[in-house]
């Protein structure tokens, strides 16, 4: 947790541009909470009004339906840094960007209770659309595809959980612009 706190603090320092015109935003992923986890993100619109930098923390218990072998469970916790470019008006409408994340994965073989932890780093493109609801509230469905740099199959008590080098992720964030 100390590493997550330090990475979040460094990312927040990077988010502070010189221009006073830029706006702060906070957002969360309600799906993460439904999966027994959490999601909290802070973003800063950059001075040009069409680019945005975001840092956040996340966690979830991965549902069995998303596991390649339901004999295992996976609890994910991590930090993320995202950069987005909006193609329409100021930080609204269609956007595309890059998403990097570091996560600590906790795997358990359910039958034996054996566990192992892995550190993963992923990087890849993301696309989405921001729907503005009034002056402050927004909802953004988005999708990312990431390459996992240091992923390896998980082996516990002779059982193997196949891991993929590429991951795809889709969700919806709800946010508030100050």
pLDDT digits (tens, 9 = 90+) for 87-113: 987 888 999 999 999 999 999 999 999
Q: Which CATH number fits domain 2-177: 2.102.10.10, 3.90.650.10, 2.40.160.20, 3.40.50.720?
A: 2.40.160.20
Across all residues in the chain, what is the average pLDDT?
90
Lowest mean pLDDT among 3-12, 55-64, 112-121: 3-12
Task: Report the alpha-carbon distance of residue 157 to residue 80 in Å, rounded.
Answer: 32
pLDDT for res 166: 95
- Quick one: which H or E segment has residue 31? helix 30-34
Give the model's pLDDT for residue 19: 42
146-163: average pLDDT: 94
The predicted pLDDT at position 21 comes to: 52
If DSSP codes are grouped into helix, strand and coil, which group holds residue 9?
helix
Beta bridge partners of 37: none
In terms of Cβ atoms closer than 10 Å to its own Cβ (0-12, 13-18, 19+), residue 72 is buried
Question: For the chain, which residues make up each domain, given as ranges?
Answer: 2-177
């Amino acid at each position: 947790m100390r590493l997550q706190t330090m990475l979040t603090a460094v990312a927040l320092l990077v988010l502070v541009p010189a221009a006073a015109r830029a706006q702060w935003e906070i957002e969360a992923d309600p799906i993460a909470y439904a999966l027994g986890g959490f999601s909290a993100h802070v973003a800063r619109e950059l001075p040009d009004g069409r680019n945005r930098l975001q840092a956040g923390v996340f966690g979830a218990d991965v549902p069995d339906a998303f596991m390649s072998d339901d004999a295992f469970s996976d609890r994910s916790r991590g930090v993320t840094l995202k950069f987005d470019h909006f193609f329409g008006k100021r930080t609204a409408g269609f956007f595309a960007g890059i998403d990097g994340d570091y996560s600590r994965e906790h795997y358990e073989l359910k039958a034996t209770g054996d566990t192992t932890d892995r550190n993963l780093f992923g990087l890849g493109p993301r696309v989405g659309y921001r729907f503005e609801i009034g002056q402050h509230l927004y909802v953004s469905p988005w999708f990312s595809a990431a390459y996992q740099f240091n992923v390896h199959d998980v082996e516990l008590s002779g059982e193997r959980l196949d891991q993929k080098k590429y991951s795809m992720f889709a969700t919806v964030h709800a946010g508030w612009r100050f």
